[in-house]
Chains A and B, each alone.
Chain A
């Protein structure tokens, strides 16, 4: 299957600072990438859809000014958590859609980034 990477795998930061998380599709081009947040013992909740070359689409209740998304190329999307607070501590996971043939509906996930805000 297609490979999606994330960097960093974990990060600890002080309250009020900003953190950038990268999501890369390694062996395919992804015009669309998705960002999810997962709290302990819960399911993945979609935060936003990142489209290459255009603005991201945010889910209801997700602050776009707090969670900045940039999809600068067909293989890279970044999520920046601005002015992070302890309640932003979570597991952030990206996925990328491979539009090649039959795998259109399959989304391949990155390994996740554990963010801890002190």
Chain B
């Protein structure tokens, strides 16, 4: 079963606001990956993190690999309508990618 606890489950925000979501686990992971999935599409990789403490940005997205290696967060700054979708955290465990339950983001104008 899933070992990644992702929160919040959903977020309703206004355009221009910042968004923050996180994933935690009781296990230590060597990799944290953040994906976005649009309806009817496969997930698209946003950010990949490989080292504890690593902070990486991709445009308006910023993600960090927690020092304990048991958590990660994703921030989206100044949200825009196209940020709508489901965001998943993922981590590689023994060669298999596990996913969190997802955070649904809804951006209203």
Contact = CB atoms under 8 A, between A and B. Distances in A.
Interface string A90-107: 010101000000010111
Contact of A108 (B45, B92, B101): B45
A114 B42 CA distance: 11
A9 B42 CA distance: 11
B44 A109 contact: yes
Contacts of A108: 45
A8 interface: no
Given A105-B48, A105-B92, A106-B45, A46 B40 contact: no
Nearest to B88: A43
B28 interface: no
Given A105-B31, A107-B97, A112 B45 contact: no
A32 B2 CA distance: 21
Interface in B70-100: 88, 92, 95-100
Chain A contact residues: over half helix, strand or loop, or mixed?
Answer: strand
B4 to A, nearest CB: 9
Size bracket, chain A contacts: 20 to 34
A98 to B, nearest CB: 11
A43 B99 contact: yes
B16 interface: no
B36 to A, nearest CB: 11
A112 B97 contact: no
Contacts of B30: 105
A56 to B, nearest CB: 13
Contacts of A1: 45
15 contacts: A34-B97, A43-B2, A43-B100, A43-B101, A46-B98, A49-B96, A93-B42, A95-B42, A105-B50, A106-B33, A108-B45, A109-B42, A109-B44, A110-B42, A112-B41
For the complex of A and B, 3 pairs with smallest distance between CB atoms: A109-B42, A105-B31, A112-B42
Given A43-B2, A109-B44, 17 more contacts: A4-B42, A34-B96, A34-B97, A42-B101, A43-B100, A44-B88, A46-B96, A95-B42, A95-B97, A105-B48, A105-B92, A106-B33, A106-B48, A107-B97, A109-B35, A112-B42, A114-B40
